[in-house]
Amino acid sequence: MKTRPLIGISIYRNEPIDVRDEPGFNYCLTEAYPNMISRAGGIPVLLPYSFDAWDALDGVLLSGGDDIAPALAGNENDPGEAKCVDPARDAFELALFRGADACGLPILGICRGCQLINCALGGTLVRDLHAAGIAEEHRVEPFGIEGLHPVRAERGSLAERLLAGHAGVCSCHHQAVKTLGRGLRATAWSPAGVIEAFEHENGRILGIQSHPEQMDWLAPFRWLAELAGADGGR
Cβ 54 vs Cβ 94: under 8 Å:
no
**Which of 166, 160, 153 minimizes the C-alpha distance to 215?**
166
Sign of CA dihedral 33, 197, 114, 17: negative
| Residue 2: φ, ψ to 5° | -70, 130
Q: Which of 160, 166, 213, 226 is catalytic?
A: 213
Decide if 211 is catalytic. yes
| Residue 158: φ, ψ to 5° | -60, -40
- Rg (C-alpha) for the chain, rounded Å, is 17
Residue 155, helix vs strand vs coil: coil
Q: Which of 138, 174, 211, 226 is catalytic?
A: 211
Query: How many angstroms separate the CA atoms of 173 and 22, rounded?
Result: 32
Query: How many angstroms separate the CA atoms of 3 and 186, rounded?
Result: 33
Q: Which of 93, 111, 119, 199 is catalytic?
A: 111
Instruction: Specify whether the backbone of 158 is left (phi greater than 0), alpha (psi in -120 to 50) or beta.
Output: alpha
Sign of CA dihedral 200, 204, 205, 208: positive
Cβ 62 vs Cβ 231: under 8 Å:
no
Query: How many angstroms separate the CA atoms of 210 and 184, rounded?
Result: 17
List residues with catalytic annotation: 111, 211, 213
